[in-house]
Amino acid sequence: MNITIVGTGYVGLVTGTTLAELGNSVYCVDIDEKKVEGMKNGIVPIYEPNLEEMFLRNIQSERLFFTTDLKEALDKSEVIYLALPTPPGEDGSADLSYVLKVAHDIGEMMTEYKVVVNKSTVPVGTADKVREMISSKTNLAFDVVSNPEFLREGFAVEDSMNPARVVVGSSSEKAKEIMAKIYQPFTNTGTPIIFMDEKSSELTKYAANSFLAVKITFMNEIANYCEKVGADVDKVRLGMGSDDRIGHRFLFPGIGYGGSCFPKDVKALIKSGKDDNFDFEILQATEKVNIAQKVILSSEIEKYFGGNLKGKRIAMWGLAFKANTDDIREASSLDNIAILLEKGAEIVAYDLIAEENVKKLLGDRISYANTMYDALEGADALFIATEWPEFKNPNFSLMAKKMNNKAIFDGRNMFPLELPQQNGFYYKSIGRKT
Ligand code: UGA
């Protein structure tokens, strides 16, 4: 099948590459000429494990193409995926201007039947808005389908090649058949495809992300209470997670959820609810708890140093919002850096993958180390903000030698409780004894 993907951000690029890998001819459209030129020359604009290999293979096999010309791509394709940004506006609502602009252009440019697929996370009712926009520009037949993406950064290739489910919201039988054909390679091997109406599909995406955000936040509150009563959240987590109605996944407490999805989607669902006179109380509480959780360790550091952080050198291991990504959007590291700098501390950070992105944002307001151990040179405390695997089993005696003061504030519960303590460190983690 010939498919156009409009928007080569995270979701667009991974979706396009996956659909090419499944044997389709995929035309990726973006307005950013430099980016398109780069991709034509085999440059993947994002960091994602295993993506580059698949991307290059499909360019070479002439199944994956890049252009800035929407009309050219449109003329070749029956199916158009929209994978455009929907950034939160001031009030938290998703900004649909990119999506609607492209819908407008599709309406003006199309010359025969098209299926327009909303892949971006969009509020309930967006398929109707896209439909209205296109039909204001053309009398030709078309269908609008909602087909949310559930991939995780860092596992995007794995998730998109082995989806747990495919959700398709469509009220048109013709469009459903076309979507079923696209995803046949998955359904053939047992992946369920769940058809529903457009609105339910749009809400499924928000409900899934918000539920996971609630799950993490619930665990963070249990962790904080564990500290109060002297319980150990690791034990509680194992005990709870063994019930398969609860499950072990997404029960890891830490310094709050970040990234480009959960904070944005929780906010957007609260806002949509408000617009419909509906109060998502559980989500409002989740957002509030998460904001506080992100900076919980900065208060602990301040307490540890008797309220005075002036001139204290804090090493920070990890800057990305989670491991296996260079993404720093809504990363807890940034909230803590802001507070610690404000209180007069110095920060030396180490994160080989995310460093460039932080440099663009903070420049030389913090310094950057080449290795995790270099960051510790003369440090008064270590703050672990991201769970990169290389931090899991460090050389504690080397750490002790490098540091000026042996204190670890671990936002990701990286070590068994006893380990740093046996090595003479003050060790503050989340939901466990200090
Ligand atoms: C999330 C969802 O997991 C995907 O299913 C969804 O498709 C995606 O959003 C999206 O909407 O595009 P992602 O933002 O890549 O994916 O990251 P997650 O792996 O879900 O992690 C989100 C945040 O929760 C991170 O800050 C992570 O550190 C935190 N987290 C996750 C915890 O604090 N504890 C956990 O147990 C799990």
Q: Which helix (H) or strand (E) holds 72?
A: helix 70-76
Q: How far apart are CA 276 and CA 99, in angstroms?
A: 22
How is residue 21 written in tokens?
Answer: 């890998």
Instruction: Say if domain 205-292 classifies as CATH 3.30.499.10.
Output: no
Q: How far apart are CA 267 and CA 261, in angstroms?
A: 10
pTM for this prediction: 0.94
Residues 268 and 88: beta-carbon distance below 8 Å: yes
- Return the DSSP state at 374: G
**Which residue is closest in CA terms to ligand 1's atom 25?**
257
3-state secondary structure of 79: strand
Q: What is the pLDDT of residue 242?
A: 97
Q: What would the pLDDT profile of 72-112 be if each residue is shown by its tens digit?
A: 999 999 999 999 998 888 887 889 999 999 999 999 999 99
Q: How far apart are CA 101 and CA 67, in angstroms?
A: 18
**Which residue is closest in CA terms to ligand 1's atom 28?**
322
Active site residue 28: no
357-392: string of b/e by CB count within 10 Å (b at 16+)? bbeeebeeebebbeebbebbeebbbbbbbbbbeebe
- Rounded to 10°, the helix 126-135/97-109 angle is 30
| Sheet with 346-350: strands ordered across | 367-368, 346-350, 313-317, 381-384, 407-410, 426-428
How is residue 264 written in tokens?
Answer: 């944005």
- Span from the CA of 329 to the centroid of ligand 1 (angstroms): 12
Q: What would the pLDDT profile of 116-133 be if each residue is shown by its tens digit?
A: 999 999 999 999 999 999
| ipTM of model | 0.94
Instruction: Say if domain 2-196 classifies as CATH 3.30.930.10.
Output: no
Q: What would the pLDDT profile of 389-403 be if each residue is shown by its tens digit?
A: 999 999 999 999 999
Q: How far apart are CA 148 and CA 140, in angstroms?
A: 25
Q: Which of 29, 100, 261, 376 is catalytic?
A: 261
Residues 48 and 84: beta-carbon distance below 8 Å: no
3-state secondary structure of 134: helix
**Which residue is closest in CA terms to ligand 1's atom 3?**
152
pLDDT in tens, the chain (434 residues): 999 999 999 899 999 999 999 999 999 999 999 999 999 999 999 888 999 999 999 999 999 999 999 999 999 999 999 999 988 888 878 899 999 999 999 999 999 999 999 999 999 999 999 999 999 999 999 999 999 999 999 899 999 999 999 999 999 999 999 999 999 999 999 999 999 999 999 999 999 999 999 999 999 999 999 999 999 999 999 999 999 999 999 999 999 999 999 999 999 999 999 999 999 999 999 999 999 999 999 999 999 999 999 999 999 999 999 999 999 999 999 999 999 999 999 999 999 999 999 999 999 999 999 999 999 999 999 999 999 999 999 999 999 999 999 999 999 999 999 999 999 999 999 999 98
Who's near 344: CB < 8 A, 6+ residues apart?
A: 308, 309, 310, 311, 312
15, 209, 297: which to mutate for ligand 1, most atoms within 8 A of CB?
A: 209
| Sheet with 79-82: strands ordered across | 64-67, 25-29, 2-6, 79-82, 114-118, 142-146, 166-169, 193-196
Equal CATH topology for 2-196 and 295-428: yes
- Span from the CA of 96 to the centroid of ligand 1 (angstroms): 23
Q: How far apart are CA 353 and CA 389, in angstroms?
A: 13
What does DSSP say about strands 313-317 and 346-350: parallel, antiparallel, or unpaired? parallel
Residues with C-beta less than 6 Å from any ligand 1 atom: 121, 149-153, 209, 212, 216, 250-252, 254, 257-259, 261-262, 321-322
What CATH number matches the domain at 295-428, 3.30.70.940, 3.40.50.720, 3.30.499.10, 3.40.190.150? 3.40.50.720
- Span from the CA of 262 to the centroid of ligand 1 (angstroms): 7
Extents of the domains making up the chain: 2-196, 205-292, 295-428
